Amino acid sequence: MKYSIFSLAKAALTGHKGWGRAWRDAAPKAHYDVVIIGGGGHGLATAYYLAERYGIRNVAVLEKGWIGSGNAGRNTTIIRSNYGLPGNTGFYELSMKLWERMEQDLNYNTMVSQRGIINLYHSDAQRDAFARRGNTMRINGIDAELLDKAAVRKMLPFLNHDNARFPIMGGLVQRRGGTARHDAVVWGYARAADGLGVDIIQNCEVTGFVRDHNGRITSVETSRGRIGAGKVGMAVAGNSSRVAAMAGLRLPIESHVLQAFVSEAIKPLIPGVITFGAGHFYVSQSDKGGLVFGGDIDGYNSYAQRGNMPVIEDVCEGGMALMPMISRVRMLRNWGGIMDMSMDGTPIIDKSPVDGLYLNAGWCYGGFKATPASGLVFAHLMATDAPHEEAWRFRLDRFERGAMIDEKGQGAQPNLH
């Protein structure tokens, strides 16, 4: 639907009556060419690109709750492409380029804000590692700057630069990094996919797979009945091992809780995103003024969308070491999401060993920034049966071949989001 300044003003003055729905509440059809399981950012983006780039429009996205009820609506909204390993560098920069034109592509305000991200370093060895990563980024055409102690002090004067354990020696900056509004991203992809004919079906949990005599998946069993499918794509993030198990697969993925926190609103303080990996703490400030922060995963396997006290204590300690005045800010709320932790911290985007079933999983705590590229390369894989040129390394069999992509800060190591 197109809006003019007059129709917008009229809607505002008349209580938004007659405002069109952003997407249809579709009822399941008997059969789709492609069924995507999971109405998070990745599933919806996949459906959008299947329709928009590959002309496959007989597509359903099945979501057990409501779209965005998983990690897509629970993350701390950081986007960046400051990766250093082959496989990751090109993929995350593809994603960054898609973020940069997302609002035009989707005709939706996803509040992409390139306010910059800085990763702090505290030792010579860490500086060398960041310099290597920054150089790799620049060789690949990605912006990176290595700041020294004085430059970080000037940029972020409110930090405790001389804390005894981890004095700040500098930082690696990506100015094109930043944040985007997570649920607007979900809604933007949902609206655009729906506009191209995709059925978004909520309250529809996949409970099993139906296979023919050759073992190929032909349908999914759901809480709303059996739905036929030419191909099935899994984009269920923290539930990956559970859904894969229904097809008889055991994935190299564990599920862990990751918590996040938001404070009461304060005046503008933090210019971009700050990560303090050594102290397991990172922070940004939302447009409403709240400090949005987090730290490490809860260290046990769980499918609960809530965490426990030891991590809350650990995150608050990290925050106070970095910026002691945070102790005077009141916490508004905290929450948790289920992370699909792959064994090397890198995703799996591949055909599965089960004919007709495709995998998009293993995002750990960094999949929000990947949303657009993940959707695009997964759509490519499902449409063409060949990996996208930026995603061919994300194979399932890399664990048995020893071709891991073990990027520091992505997997079980201290996280930087």
Ligand X SMILES: Cc1cc2nc3c(=O)[nH]c(=O)nc-3n(C[C@H](O)[C@H](O)[C@H](O)COP(=O)(O)OP(=O)(O)OC[C@H]3O[C@@H](n4cnc5c(N)ncnc54)[C@H](O)[C@@H]3O)c2cc1C
By C-alpha distance, which of 37, 28, 30, 31 is closest to 357? 37
CB of residue 172 vs ligand X: minimum separation in angstroms? 17
Site residues for ligand X, 199-218, by CB under 6 A, read: 205-206
Q: Which of 59, 152, 232, 237 binds ligand X (CB under 6 A)?
A: 237
Go through 271-300 and write b for each residue having 16 or more CB atoms within 10 A of its CB, e for each that does not.
ebbbbbbbbbbbbbbbeeebbbbbbbbbee
Specify the residue, 126 or 259, whose C-beta has the smaller distance to ligand X.
259
CB of residue 42 vs ligand X: minimum separation in angstroms? 3
Specify the residue, 70 or 87, whose C-beta has the smaller distance to ligand X.
70
Using CB atoms within 10 A of its CB, is residue 100 exposed (0-12), middle (13-18) or buried (19+)?
middle
Site residues for ligand X, 311-330, by CB under 6 A, read: none
Go through 346-380 and write b for each residue having 16 or more CB atoms within 10 A of its CB, e for each that does not.
bbbbbbbebebbbbbbbbbbbbbbbbbbbbbbbbb
Contact flag: residue 232 with ligand X (CB under 6 A): no
The stretch among 51-59, 68-76, 121-129, 391-399 that binds ligand X (CB under 6 A) is: 68-76
CB of residue 287 vs ligand X: minimum separation in angstroms? 15
**185 Rama class: left (phi>0) / alpha (psi -120 to 50) / beta:** alpha
Site residues for ligand X, 254-283, by CB under 6 A, read: 258-260
Q: Which of 34, 47, 59, 72 binds ligand X (CB under 6 A)?
A: 72
The stretch among 92-100, 127-135, 313-321, 365-373 that binds ligand X (CB under 6 A) is: 365-373
Specify the residue, 136 or 284, whose C-beta has the smaller distance to ligand X.
284
Q: Which of 243, 270, 274, 297 binds ligand X (CB under 6 A)?
A: 243
Site residues for ligand X, 133-192, by CB under 6 A, read: none
Tell me the one-letter amino acid at 370.
A
Site residues for ligand X, 28-67, by CB under 6 A, read: 37-43, 62-65
Site residues for ligand X, 327-346, by CB under 6 A, read: 337
Round to whole Å and give the CA distance between 350 and 387: 7
Q: Which of 178, 188, 294, 318 binds ligand X (CB under 6 A)?
A: 294
Specify the residue, 72 or 85, whose C-beta has the smaller distance to ligand X.
72
CB of residue 148 vs ligand X: minimum separation in angstroms? 26
Residues near ligand X (CB under 6 A) are 37-43, 62-65, 69-72, 74-78, 205-206, 235-239, 243, 258-260, 294, 337, 363, 365-369, 417
